[in-house]
């Protein structure tokens, strides 16, 4: 089972040392007063023959109160971390390595969703993100009720699955 893209990108930003990880959320802006980064799934375009999907994600930030420049810097950091990135392989594994659910082995990013004493078979849950481009942004979205500036960045990525999935085949 391939995970939801926003969760994959949460872990990618963490792996790439995004400076705002302590206030990064998936799919929502929580009711907090500080700065916030949110990752929202916008859409998936699926190839009918191959396990190759076009993923569109919306990254949104809210700056600290009255800090326009800092809000722009936050969204620009997301862009610079992901734009032009090489292949990132994500494998859903079970591991006891690291308490944050992420470890790097042989230049691959592994994402752990539960902890145990050993790494289990990962072949059935491997995906590659192979293309990272900006569709739109950074774009200014105005000010919220707490005087935080909102910025948005829409990116498109290509995701290749590595396991036969129904009628679609692995792209060789």
- Work out the angle at residue 27's Cα, subtended by the Cα atoms of residues 24 and 29, and round it to the nearest 5 degrees: 60
**Domain map (residue ranges) of the chain:** 5-85+132-161
Question: May I ask the CATH class of domain 5-85+132-161?
Answer: alpha beta
Series of mean pLDDT values for 10-residue runs along the chain (172 residues):
76 87 88 89 82 89 96 96 81 48 48 40 60 90 95 90 66 66
CA angle, 24 then 137 then 10, to 5°: 25
Task: State how far the Cα of 94 lies from the Cα of 127, in Å rounded to an integer.
Answer: 16
Closest by alpha carbon to 19, among 84, 64, 68, 66?
Answer: 64
The DSSP call for residue 116 is -
148 three-class SS: coil
Q: Is residue 140 a contact partner of residue 163, using CB atoms and an 8 Å limit?
A: no
pLDDT of residue 19: 93
């Amino acid at each position: 089972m391939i995970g939801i893209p926003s969760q994959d990108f949460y872990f990618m930003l963490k792996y790439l040392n995004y400076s705002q990880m302590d206030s990064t959320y998936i799919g929502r802006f929580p009711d907090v007063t500080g700065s916030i980064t949110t990752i929202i799934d916008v859409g998936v375009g699926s190839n009918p023959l191959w396990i190759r999907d076009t993923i569109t994600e919306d990254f949104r930030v809210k700056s600290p109160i009255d800090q326009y420049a800092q809000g722009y810097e936050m969204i620009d950091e997301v862009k610079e971390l992901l734009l032009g990135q090489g292949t990132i392989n994500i494998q859903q594994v079970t591991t006891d390595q690291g308490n944050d659910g992420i470890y790097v082995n042989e230049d691959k990013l592994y994402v752990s969703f539960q902890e145990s004493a050993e790494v289990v078979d990962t072949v059935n849950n491997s995906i590659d993100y192979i293309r990272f481009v900006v569709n739109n942004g950074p774009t200014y979205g105005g000010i919220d009720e707490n005087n935080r500036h909102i910025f948005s960045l829409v990116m498109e990525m290509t995701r290749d699955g590595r396991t036969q999935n129904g009628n679609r085949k692995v792209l060789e």
